[in-house]
Structures are given as structure tokens and as C-alpha cells.
Amino acid sequence: MKPSARSPVEVWYAIPSANPENCRARLPVWREMGYRVAVLQNWKRGEIPADLVVWSDTYPGWPGSVNLLCREIVPKTATIVVSGGDDMLPDPNFTAQQLAEQFLERFPDTFGVMQPTGDGFMSCEHYCGSPWMGRRWIDQINGGRGPLWDGYCHNWADNELLWVAKGLSALWQRPDLTHRHEHFSRTGEERPDYWHATVAPKDRADVELFLKRKWSDFPGHEPLGGGARFDARLAARHGARLAEFHWHGQFGAEATGRSAADRLFDAIAECEARGHRRIGLYGAGSHTRALARVIPSGRFVCVIDDDPRAGAEPVFGLSPVTLDDARKLKLDAVILSSTCHEQSMWRRCESLRRDGVDVVRLYEDFDDDLAIRRALGALPMAATLGAA
């Protein structure tokens, strides 16, 4: 039952955390905006400003942690649970109560997911990395197992959440709201030790699980008691192939025969063959920083990033600049340096293309995912018959 307009709505921010310093820096902001806070702490103990803190000797994974928080730690009286990470901040313009009222206007039965997308970081409009989830969604989706599919370790559960919620007509994306994500790749920091130990080793299994589940319409997502049927065409509408591009970029060199460095060298050579001398590189994240270890500096006029930060560590010896600043540099060409975000970066380069700048993609051939299906043993029936 929807609470009356005068009744306070219990909204919890519930997250796993291995970083007490992050919690101490950001959780007070959530509490000041009216959220109650629950944390499942692992890896590193520490005093943190939360209403509820429970220690876990192991990391159940992000979706497993969120499900555990919703099932055993956050009170059942919570109408809405918001999740994310200890490196996120709430929307600064609305209190938890104000947003809860908006949520309940859209989802009066609480079977829904609301995702702020105003941050724009890391193509966040294509997954639910900091979702608002209603009580009925929490209790009924995935056959009652929890609000997230817990087969993932850390990555790609947020992508499945978006696809399933959208396919059930239960997703509300809010570009007018911002959950600022202070991810280490955004700030230029090194990947933390817990990431290397628990997240990175599972990334391939996670992305391949997502792809297989997407290809089969996410079996097991069905809510208790039935309801709307999953519409795969609706789920895919305006979507991006982030997982396919990520798999190709991280694990597909053997399938394609070309590494990221090979692709960048080829792109540079192609630009120079066209007479381009002033070449920019778009993307200052982990993809570019990995390439900077094997490709010498001096090849680019600038490195472009959507969120350049003062004092951030330079890459290729260059401090990142914005797209607007790059337009003033009279570039001949810009090479896109990202795997899963290449599509959204291409769209953001429209102004450069209008200026006559040659924008070059490294992974245009990844639009065909037959190589992934072969590698994962998940060929469509037509391809299997054709191969025979």
C-alpha cells in the first residue's frame, strides 16, 4: 500500500563496502539528505557513519551483498532501498523524502526501479549502478531471490537490472537527477587492492554470464505471482552493446587476432596516411592508460576526457582536456580509446565531425558478435546449421 502523502517514507541507502575512508567521506552526505544507511562491510574493518553496519568475512559480490542487505539487514518497513557504492553521492537538489514521493507517484505499487542518469559518467544511462528499488520489486523479482540476480560477482548485475526492469516496463530513468560517481577510474587513482583480489578475477565470468543470460531473456527473473511478461524488444530499445564491446576489448584479442595496441597503431598509421598531423585521443580511462605503457608519448596533441580533473595524473604526458577545449586546438583527427563506451563517445563527437575532424573508431568491427558466440559456445541455431 502506498503511504499517505503525510506519512514519512523509509528510504535506506544500502551498500557493501571494503573502504572505510570512502564511507567516512560520503555517507554523511546521504544521511544529511534524509537517507538511513546500512553497510555490509568486508575486507577492511573501520568505524563508519551508518545506521546499521554488519561485518562479512567474505565478499558475497555486489548483487549478493545487496540482496543480503535487503533480506536480513534493512528493516522490512523500508518502502524503498537505494544501492550503489561507497564512492557515490546522492542527488544534491532533492531530499530522500522528496524523491520517494516522486517514486511512489510513478510506482504506487512499489514494483519499480528508478535510476538517476544525470552524472553521465561511464555510459551510466545503460545500466542501473545506483538504483532506487521499491519494496514489491525487492520482494518479488527473480522469483523472490532478491532485487538483483546474484549469479554475478560484481560487474554486470547492474546491466541485467536495467534490461529486466526495462523489459517489464518497470524502469524510470532520470536524466534530471545525479548520483555523482567518484570511481577510481574517474579520479585517476590506482585500482584498489580489494578490486584486484575480488572483482578483476571474476570480470570475464561476469560479462560472459550476462551475455548468455541476455541471449536467453534472463531466465529466472520472473516475479513471484506472475505479472508483466518480459519484452526483449522493449528491453533492447535504445540500448548499447556494452558487454559485447567489453568482452571483445578485454578477452577477444585471440578471437579477432588484434590487440588494443595493434588497433591503436593501425589507427595512427591510417590517420597519418590521410595527411593528419594534429591527432587527439578521446578517453583518459583505464583503456588509454594501459596503452600508454606500450605506446610512446608524443603521438597526440591532446587527450580528451568527459570529466578532466585538475591535478589528475597525465596520460601520454598530457593533462586531459574537455571536448570543448579540444575543438579549439584545430585537430585533424580524434581516435576513440575505449571498448564498451566507444558507441556513446562516437555520439558525443558529433560537434567534432561537424567541424570536419576525422573521428576514428578502434572497435567498429565489434558490432558483429558472432566471434563471442563462437567463443562462448552459444551460436544461434542458424549459424550452427550454416557451419555444419
Number of structural domains in the chain: 2
* Residue-number span of the structural domain to which 139 is assigned: 11-239
Regarding whether 264 and 223 lie in a shared domain, the answer is no
The pLDDT of residue 154 is 92
Q: Could you tell me if 132 and 104 are in contact, meaning their C-beta atoms sit under 8 angstroms apart? A: no
Q: Could you tell me if 22 and 86 are in contact, meaning their C-beta atoms sit under 8 angstroms apart? A: yes
Regarding whether 98 and 21 lie in a shared domain, the answer is yes
Regarding whether 283 and 230 lie in a shared domain, the answer is no
For 381, residues 6+ apart whose C-beta sits below 8 A from its C-beta are none
Sign of torsion over alpha carbons 157, 126, 363, 329:
negative
Regarding whether 219 and 273 lie in a shared domain, the answer is no
Regarding whether 90 and 21 lie in a shared domain, the answer is yes
3-state percent breakdown (helix, strand, coil) of the chain, nearest 5: 40, 15, 45
The pLDDT of residue 48 is 97
Return the C-alpha cell found at 49: 557513519
Beta-sheet pairing, 113-116 with 132-134: antiparallel
The pLDDT of residue 382 is 37
**CB atoms closer than 10 angstroms to residue 294:** 11
Regarding whether 223 and 351 lie in a shared domain, the answer is no
The pLDDT of residue 250 is 80
Q: What is the pLDDT along the chain (388 residues), one digit of tens a residue?
A: 444 455 789 999 999 999 999 999 999 999 999 999 999 999 999 999 999 999 999 999 999 999 999 999 999 999 999 999 999 999 999 999 999 999 999 999 999 999 999 988 777 899 999 999 999 999 999 999 999 999 999 999 999 999 999 999 999 999 999 999 988 877 667 788 888 888 889 999 999 999 999 999 999 999 998 888 999 999 998 877 888 888 877 887 766 667 888 889 999 999 999 999 999 999 988 889 888 888 888 889 999 998 877 556 788 989 999 999 999 999 999 999 987 788 888 989 999 999 999 999 988 766 566 767 777 776 543 333 333 2
Regarding whether 233 and 267 lie in a shared domain, the answer is no
Q: How much is the pTM?
A: 0.76
Domain membership of residue 6 (yes or no) is no
Q: Could you tell me if 263 and 362 are in contact, meaning their C-beta atoms sit under 8 angstroms apart? A: yes
304 vs 310: CA distance, rounded Å: 13
Domain membership of residue 252 (yes or no) is no
Give the domain CATH number at 75.
3.90.550.10
Estimate to the nearest angstrom the gap between the alpha carbon of 239 and the chain centroid: 13
The pLDDT of residue 258 is 74
Regarding whether 276 and 223 lie in a shared domain, the answer is no
Give the domain CATH number at 276.
3.40.50.720
Regarding whether 290 and 166 lie in a shared domain, the answer is no
